[in-house]
Chains A and B, each alone.
Chain A
Amino acid sequence: MRSKDTMTKPLKVEKILPPGHFYPRLDIPYEGWVELERKMKKIDNSFSLGHLRSIIHEIYIYADGETTLSEIAEKIGLEFGVALDPETLIPVLESLERFGSITIDK
C-alpha cells in the first residue's frame, strides 16, 4: 500500500458508515485525539473536537477514489469556516481505513 500523504485518494466502502461517536470507536487513543486538537488549534484556534464528527463524515462522503485528502480538507474548511491542515487528518484517515469505512488507493 502506498504510504499515505495529502495526495491520497480515499474511496468509501458503502454500508460501512464511520462511527457517530468517533472516540473510542476509531482506534486513536484519547491522547491522540487531544494531540490532534492541539495541532488543529495551532492552525485555527476556533477548531474544537466537536467539529470532528462533521469532518469525519465529510471525509467519508467525499471519498470517491478521485478526490485527494488535500482537496477534501479544503472543501471541508470552506464548508465549516475552519482552516484545516490536511496533514493532521492523515491519522484519522488511517483509522477510518482500519475501521473499514474507506480504502486507500494502492
Chain B
Amino acid sequence: MKKTRNIFNNEFSGTKAKDHTEYITQFYRSNGSSGIKASTVYCKEQLDGHGLDEISIEKFPVDGVSGLMGRIVYPAWEPREVVLNIVDPVEEEIVNYNDTPTCIEWFSTPTPPGGVTAEIVDVRGGMMLEDYEGKDVKGKIVLASGGGPLNMGVRLYELAVERYGALGVVTDFLLGEIPGIRSRTLRPEFVGLLRQPRTFNKGWSIVISGTKGARLRELLKMGPVKVWANVDTVEGAGTGENLIAVIKGSEKPDEEVFIVGHLSATKPGGNCATGPALMIEAARTLSQLIVKGDLPRPKRTIKFLFVPEGLGSEAYIKEHWEERESMIGGLCLCGVGEDQGICRSSLVVSRTPDSVPSFMNDLCEHVLKEAVSKKLLTSGPMRYGIDPYSPFSDNSSFNLSGIPCVLLSSKPNLYFHTQFLTADKMDPEVFETAGSIVMETIYNVADAGVETAMEIANIVMEAAESRLGEISTYSYEEIIESDPENMEIVYKKGIKKLDYTLERDLRSLNSTSRLVRGLDDEKSYKAFLQESMADLRAKGERVKERVAAITRTKKGGTEG
C-alpha cells in the first residue's frame, strides 16, 4: 500500500474539522428542516474550489407519503418553539427549546396557539398498562420516567396519548445508560433526545432533566400541579438532499469506494456533525494533494456522501441500485472527533455483518491500530476498540443492500444526544487520527491493483490466524476447566466456533479478488488467492487438531 500517512497528516487539519463541527452544530437538523438545508449548503460551499471533480445534490421527497426501500418516508418536520412551565401551585420554568434543543421528541405536533394549561399526572414508568390503572389522564399531561427495553418514546406516546387520551407526555427518561458513567442519577441535568420512528397523529412529548422531574414529583406529593406547555412545530411535504462530492478514478472510474456521514441530527448533535466535518476536510485534503501532484489520482472513484441518516443512504442506494456491483465498499462515520477524556469514549471500528464478509474490516482495523500506535493524544494513549456489526448508522442501509460498509464511531459517549454534546467536546487530535484512518483505508482501496490486493490479503490472513489462535486459546481454557461429562460438548462448541470463523474469514479473503477484476494480472492473483486460502484452511485444520489433542489429553488424564 502507498505510504500515505505522512502526506495526509501534513495536509489534514483537525482544527478545521472541529471548526466545521462548530458551524454545523448551530443548526437543528431534523429531516427536511431549514437547519439540515443550511448545513448542506455550508458543506457544499466548503467543498467548492478544492479541485473535486463533481459536486452535486440528489433530491428525494420527505413527504410522509412516498415509498423508499420498503418504508414510507418521514415528512419534513422541525421545532420552532417549546416551553414547559409549572403554573400552579408555583410558577417555575421546567424547560425551553432555546436553551435545551434536545427537549422535543421528533414529530411532536403543535399545541393550539398560546399553548395548553393542564394538570400533570405521574404515571411512574408509563410503559405498562398497569401504570395507568386508576388514573384519569384524559385531557391531562402525563409525567413518566420511561424505561424498558424498547423505543420508549413510541410506547409512552401510544399508551398515554393514543390509548388514554392525554394531551402530551413529559418524561425525564435518559436514553443510553452507561453503567457507572451515565445514568439518570449520575447525570440529573442531562436532557437526551428521543426520536420517534413514526409520526405523531396528535400530541407531543417533551423531555426534561432528572432535576426537573424530581421537582415535579415533589410538588405532586403535596397536591395537584398544573403546567403550561407551548409546542410550536411544523410538519409537511419537503425535500431531502444528498450532497455528493466525487474524486474521479483514473483507470476504473465506474468503480467506487465511498465515505458516508449524516447531516441530520438534533442540536447541537456534535457527534453526528463530526462525520460530515471530517469528510469535508478529507475531501479537501485528498483532492488538493491530487491537484498539487503530491498524490497519484486513485484508479477508482472516491465518493463522499453527505446524507440525512438512513433515509439519505437508502435514497442513494435506490437511485444507484444498478451500480451496486461497482460499489466496492465504504466507511460510515458517526462520532469521529470526540475528546476521549471528556466524552469517555474510544474510537471503534464496527465490522460489516458476517453475512457481508469483506476485507474492509481487517484493513480498517489494521490501519486503525497502526495509526493509534503512532499517536499519543495530549490526554494520553488513544483508546480504540473493534466491535461486531452495529447497525446504528448509515452502515446498516448499505450492508442490508449487500454493499460492505464499516462503521467508524466513538463509543460510548457520556454526552450522547444531550444538550451538552457541543463542538467544544471535540478534539482536533482525534479528528486527525480518524482522518488518517479514513483516508488511508479509502485511498488504498480506491487505488488498489494486484500488489495492494496482495498486501490486503496478507492483512486478512494475519488477522484471521490471530482470531483462530484466540478462539483456540479460549477453547483450551474451557476444555481444561470443564467437567468430564461436559467435555465433549465444550470441545464441539469450540470446533464449531473455529469452523464458523474460518469459513467467514475465507470469504473475507476471497473478497479481495474484487480488487483485481478486469486487471491484466487477475489470473495470477487468483492463483495467489487460491494458495492463500488453502494455506489459511490448513492453518485452521492445525488449530482444530491442537484443540482435539488437548481434549484427548485431558480425557486421558481424567480417565487415568
Bound together, the chains give a CA A54 to CA B390 distance in angstroms of 7
What string of 1s and 0s marks CB contacts (under 8 Å) between B19-38 and chain A?
00000000000000000000
Q: Which residues of B contact A19 (CB under 8 A)?
A: 70-71, 197
Partner-B contacts on A (CB < 8 A): 13, 15-21, 23-25, 30, 33-34, 37, 48-50, 53-54, 57-58, 60-62, 75, 78-80, 99-101
Whether, in the assembled complex, B391 has its beta carbon less than 8 Å from a beta carbon of chain A, the answer is yes
Q: Are A79 and B354 in contact (CB under 8 A)?
A: yes
CB distance from A106 to the nearest CB of B (A): 21
Whether, in the assembled complex, B244 has its beta carbon less than 8 Å from a beta carbon of chain A, the answer is no
Q: Which residues of B contact A79 (CB under 8 A)?
A: 353-354, 388-389, 500
What is the predominant secondary structure among interface residues of chain B facing chain A? loop
Q: Are A61 and B355 in contact (CB under 8 A)?
A: yes
Whether, in the assembled complex, B397 has its beta carbon less than 8 Å from a beta carbon of chain A, the answer is yes
- Residue in contact with B496 in the complex, picked from A15, A30, A57, A78, CB distance below 8 Å: A78
Q: Which residues of A contact B198 (CB under 8 A)?
A: 24-25
Q: Are A17 and B154 in contact (CB under 8 A)?
A: no
Whether, in the assembled complex, B151 has its beta carbon less than 8 Å from a beta carbon of chain A, the answer is yes
Q: Which residues of A contact B492 (CB under 8 A)?
A: none
Whether, in the assembled complex, B519 has its beta carbon less than 8 Å from a beta carbon of chain A, the answer is no
Q: Which residues of B contact A23 (CB under 8 A)?
A: 150-151, 154-155, 197
Bound together, the chains give a CA A34 to CA B129 distance in angstroms of 13
A-B contact pairs, 14 of them (CB 8 A): A16-B69, A16-B70, A18-B70, A19-B197, A21-B151, A21-B197, A23-B150, A23-B155, A30-B127, A33-B149, A50-B149, A53-B396, A54-B391, A79-B353
Q: Are A17 and B397 in contact (CB under 8 A)?
A: yes
**A15-B69, A33-B149 given. 9 additional CB < 8 A pairs?**
A17-B314, A20-B396, A30-B155, A34-B149, A54-B353, A54-B389, A58-B354, A61-B356, A75-B355
Q: Are B400 and A53 in contact (CB under 8 A)?
A: no
Bound together, the chains give a CA A21 to CA B149 distance in angstroms of 13
Most chain B beta carbons < 10 A, residue from A53, A57, A80: A57
Q: Which residues of A contact B71 (CB under 8 A)?
A: 17, 19, 25
Return the chain A residue nearest B71 by Cβ: A19
CB distance from B361 to the nearest CB of A (A): 12
